[in-house]
Amino acid sequence: MNNFIKNDLLLRALAGANVERPPVWMMRQAGRYLPAYMELKRKYDFFTRVQTPELVAAITKQPIDIVGSDAAILFSDILVVPQAMGLEVQMNEGVGPLLPNPIKTINDFNRIQIPDVANALAYVFEGIRCTKQALNNEVPLIGFAGAPFTILCYMVEGKGSKTFEKAKQFCYQEPQLAHRLLNMITITTINYLEQQVIAGVDALQIFDSWSGLLSPEDFAVWSEPYLLRIYQALVAKVPVIIYPKGSWYALTSLSNAGVKALGIDWCISPAQARSFTVRNTVLQGNFDPAKLLLPIPQLKQAVTAMIDDFGVQHYIANLGHGITPNIPVANAKAFIEAVKNYKQ
Ligand code: 1CP
């Protein structure tokens, strides 16, 4: 628990302490639904925004000032890791990420390495230091990385996809190579997150955005062991939230393996998620981001009902996935306020 942070609700909830109401933040809260972000987006391209510490600090702080989240999440991207490992990553307006030379064969391994992250990702750590100063201990700062399976998806597929079939086929057809790649990503990610902690983040989230594309059996092979290595390497330093989107079937095994904080999407009910996890596991989620477009009174009712279902303790109110660019700021604010005004 960090005594220096004025609003430490998130850290108290993660530590299992009693809280007066659940903490609240939103996945992708720093981004395109905020006019203040769009202004900086017009002036600076994506990687300039990500690599300039002052811009990182300003963008990270926007949702704290504008919608009143209880925690900040660093403005960065999960794809800085494959970039640091040696793959070219482009971010194209309206199209999303593109890795023009993805991993296909053993020869492609010659182009990637486990980088010296202190050097290769120094701009992230400088961004964290700058952001901590800007936040002035008002709220905690969450650092993050992609889970190894989700990073493999982009490294092999080369772009976003609804199915990531090339990435999954690579795992099933070239299992040894795929495990070698996952191992390299895992080592890099652990080094990267350790440096994020040294630079000052107060908690971590691991985004396994595509794990739900795997069957339960394949999750156990291609995702879980790597998630647990990362979790176990970091959890003694700061609290770690694992968010395996779509993998409701894996909650029991992750929880039994000792994971104390799990993010969930809206495809599982709070009661089911509680029944799948060890008592007092901290659950985070799971508001359907599309429901943010409800008329504000209905939106607030739905948020209140969600908290009723999860319970106030051992809970972090959040969306079940990222906020989309079409959400009015007033609705995002109403989501946060509904949590802040919750009465037991
Ligand atoms: O120019 C822009 O604004 C592009 C949109 C954008 C933004 C705002 C991208 C490109 N990345 C980001 C920032 C970002 N990405 C954050 C900032 C902090 C915050 O949440 O407020 C975070 C945590 C991420 C993490 C991220 N990037 C994930 C995991 C979370 C999730 O949504 O599942 C993933 C899958 C990515 C890849 C990525 N980067 C950007 C886009 C559009 C995508 C998704 C591509 C796809 O659909 O596959």
Q: What is the pLDDT of residues 68-83, one digit of tens each?
A: 999 999 999 999 999 9
For residue 132, pLDDT over 90 is answered with yes
Tokens of 257: 């393996």
Confidence of residue 96 (pLDDT cuts 50, 70, 90): very high
For residue 2, pLDDT over 70 is answered with no
Tokens of 259: 């994971």
Q: What is the pLDDT of residue 192?
A: 99
Angle between the N-to-C axes of helices 224-234 and 148-157, in degrees from 0 to 180, rounded to the nearest 10: 130
Confidence of residue 109 (pLDDT cuts 50, 70, 90): very high
Output the ligand 1 site: residues, CB below 6 A.
27-32, 41, 46, 73, 75, 77-79, 91, 96-97, 144, 160, 207, 209, 322
The overall pTM is greater than 0.75: yes
CA of 31 to the centre of ligand 1 (A): 9
Q: Name the closest-CA residue to atom 24, ligand 1.
A: 77
Q: What is the pLDDT of residues 169-191, one digit of tens each?
A: 999 999 999 999 999 999 999 99
- In the chain, the N- to C-terminal Cα span, in Å, equals 24
Q: Name the closest-CA residue to atom 19, ligand 1.
A: 28
Q: What is the pLDDT of residue 3?
A: 54
**Non-local CB neighbours of 303 within 8 Å, separated by 6+ positions:** 287, 317, 335, 338, 339, 342
Q: What is the pLDDT of residue 120?
A: 98
Q: What is the pLDDT of residue 93?
A: 83
Confidence of residue 67 (pLDDT cuts 50, 70, 90): very high
Q: What is the pLDDT of residues 208-232, one digit of tens each?
A: 999 999 999 999 999 999 999 999 9
Confidence of residue 292 (pLDDT cuts 50, 70, 90): very high
Q: What is the pLDDT of residue 35?
A: 97
From CA 154, how far away is CA 98, in angstroms rounded? 8
Q: Quick one: average pLDDT of 320-338? A: 98
Q: What is the pLDDT of residue 174?
A: 97
- Which domains are assigned to the chain? 9-340 (3.20.20.210)
Q: Name the closest-CA residue to atom 11, ligand 1.
A: 77
Q: Name the closest-CA residue to atom 45, ligand 1.
A: 160
For residue 90, pLDDT over 70 is answered with yes
CA of 309 to the centre of ligand 1 (A): 29
Q: What is the pLDDT of residue 299?
A: 98
Average pLDDT, the chain: 97
Q: What is the pLDDT of residue 1?
A: 47
SS (H, E, C) the chain: CCCCCCCCHHHHHHCCCCCCCCCECCCCCCCCCCHHHHHHHHHCCHHHHHHCHHHHHHHHHHHHHHCCCCCEECCCCCCHHHHHCCCCCEEECCCEEECCCCCCCHHHHHHCCCCCHHHHCHHHHHHHHHHHHHHCCCCCEEEEEECHHHHHHHHHHCECCCCCHHHHHHHHHCHHHHHHHHHHHHHHHHHHHHHHHHHCCCEEEEEECCHHHCCHHHHHHHCHHHHHHHHHHHCCCCCEEEEECCCHHHHHHHHHCCCCEEECCCCCCHHHHHHHCCCCCEEEEEECHHHHHCCHHHHHHHHHHHHHHHCCCCEEEEECCCCCCCCCHHHHHHHHHHHHCCCC
Q: Best substitution site from 48, 64, 78, 93 to test ligand 1's pocket, by max atoms within 8 Å of Cβ?
A: 78
Confidence of residue 94 (pLDDT cuts 50, 70, 90): confident
Q: What is the pLDDT of residue 314?
A: 98
Q: Name the closest-CA residue to atom 36, ligand 1.
A: 78
